Structures are given as structure tokens and as C-alpha cells.
Amino acid sequence: MARWQAVFFDLDGTMYDWRSCWEQTTRRTIAEHLGRFPTSDDQDLAAAVATFSHYGRVLFAEFDRGYLDVFTARRLNYVLTAAVHGWDPSEQAVQSFLERYNALLVATVQPRPDLGPTLRTLQEQRGLSLGVITNGLASEQRRKLSVLAVEAYFEPAAVIVSGEHGYAKPDPRIFRAALAALRVAPVAALYVGDAWENDVLGGLRAGLDVAWFNPAGAVRPTELPPSRGTLYEVNRLEELLALDGLADST
């Protein structure tokens, strides 16, 4: 019989390939901003993309640590890149760029091939309650779920977005909010996510069992916090179905 009563999923990087989406969005938005068709031999475009990507990694590391909100991180990313490459620094230019960037960031998400079948099996065949725990802007994260066509699998009250709660992963409070929404204890829930600090360590510190989603086969970090939770590792979402705690009870 299944040990877990509920499974919570991270969104970015777990349900879809966040890095690929981010890279496509960055390149396309900058190409449109510069008024040119993106080609592999466009050195000006490549340089601007590299600068924007560099600042993006730095700024969003600060976002993950809770030092910046997503609005500020994206705005600074444009401003810093504009200073390097001589872009228009006006407020109108910033807003125009970010509106297009934000729209493309949502529009380009594509579900992992086994996402839908895995969620359907967990919900319909295994009888589990499903939820989401994600950091980001509420409207943007919810639009992503809509584009991914997976909203119906999740309990509405258990879609927990940091932008609506005032705290973000790895803060244990966001995990507790998800548990409370489904009225389950930490020992009765599994959390699935790809980010080591926010998802793995955050979930374990909150007392949940955690499945580290590691599609690239990265080397597993050695540090683990004191926790009652157990750590698993999967390279594909469908591998969740074989975990003992999700075993088919039929």
C-alpha cells in the first residue's frame, strides 16, 4: 500500500526544462529588441545574450536567497546589460523589454514528455492528492501551469506560490502551507524538485520525503540536513511511479 497520501511538485526545472526556456526567451527577446533576426553568426547579438545571461545568473541567485524579488532582478538585468551595450535606458524601454520577455517566458514552456502521464497515474490510478510548491510571481506561475495543461491534476488550494505567501523555498513555512492545504503530515507526503538548496534541502528540513529530480545526472552534493525525511533520486518523472511509497495498491 502507498505510504504517501500526497505528492507536491516544483514547477520550474521539474515540470519543464527551465534552462532551455530561459535561453530561448533571452535570445528571442534581445533579438527583437535589437530589431534583427537571430542568426548564429551575429556577434553583437551573441555578446548581448552573454551579458544578459551572466547578470541573470548572478541576480537570480540573489532572488533564490531571498535578497531580491523577481521584478527587481529582471529590471536590474536589463539596466546592467543596457549599460554595457548602450541600449536605451529609459523607463519606456525597460518596460517594453520586460513585457515582451515576461510574455515569452510563459509562452515557451513545454511540458516534459512524461509529465502528464505521471500526474494522471498518480491522481487517477494511485488515488493521491497532488500539489505545487513554487517560487515566483503568482500570475506568471499560474499561467505556466495553464500552458502546460496540468492545472486539473492539482488541488487548487494546494498550488502554493511564494508571491502569494510572502516567503519562498527553502523557507519551511511554504512547505507547511502546502501540507496544511491538503491536511497531511510531513511523513505522509513526498516532494519532487530539481534545485538542491530550495527543493531538496528545503523539503528535507521541513520533514518531507524528497525525490531529487536530476535529469542531467549531476553529481549529488554530500551535505544533507538533519531530517526525518528520506531522499530519493530520479532522472525521469515517470520513475516516481516505481518508488515504494507510491506503489500501486491494486
Segment 103-123 mean pLDDT: 97
pLDDT for the residue 51: 97
Residues 125 and 238 in one domain: yes
Q: Is residue 182 within 8 Å of 159, Cβ to Cβ?
A: no
Instruction: Name the least confident of 45-59, 68-82, 213-227.
Output: 213-227
Answer yes or no: do 99 and 132 share one domain: no
Among 107, 123, 145, the domain-final residue is: 107
210-228 residue pLDDT tens: 999 999 999 998 778 787 8
On whether both 56 and 161 belong to a single domain, the answer is no
The pLDDT, as a whole number, for residue 73 is 94
How high does pLDDT run on average in the chain? 93
CATH number at residue 89: 1.10.150
Measured between alpha carbons, how far is residue 37 from residues 20, 103, 117, 172, 246 in Å? 19, 19, 37, 45, 48
181 located within any domain:
yes
Check residue 128 and give left, alpha or beta (phi > 0: left; psi -120 to 50: alpha).
beta
> Do 130 and 141 fall into the same domain?
yes
The whole-angstrom separation of Cα 245 and Cα 224 is: 21
Q: Count of domains in the chain?
A: 2
- Can you give the pTM of this predicted structure? 0.92
Q: Domain span at residue 198?
A: 6-16+111-246
Question: Parallel, antiparallel, or unpaired for β 189-193 and 209-213?
Answer: parallel
Q: Considering 50, 83, 107, which residue would you say is the last residue of a domain?
A: 107
- Average pLDDT for 137-160: 97
Instruction: Tell me whether residue 139 is in a domain.
Output: yes
Residues 142 and 196 in one domain: yes
List pLDDT tens digits, range 4-21.
Answer: 999 999 999 999 999 999
Residue 170 maps to which CATH number? 3.40.50.1000
Boundary (domain end) residue, out of 107, 140, 158: 107
> Strand pairing of 159-161 and 189-193?
unpaired
On whether both 149 and 96 belong to a single domain, the answer is no
Same structural domain, 136 and 100: no
125 and 64 inside one domain: no
Q: Within a domain: residue 1?
A: no
Neighbours of 186 (CB within 10 A): 19
SS3 153: helix
For the record, the C-alpha cell of 180 comes out as 496544511
Cβ partners under 8 Å of residue 91, min gap 6 = none
The side-by-side arrangement of strands in the sheet containing 189-193 is 159-161, 129-134, 6-9, 189-193, 209-213, 231-234
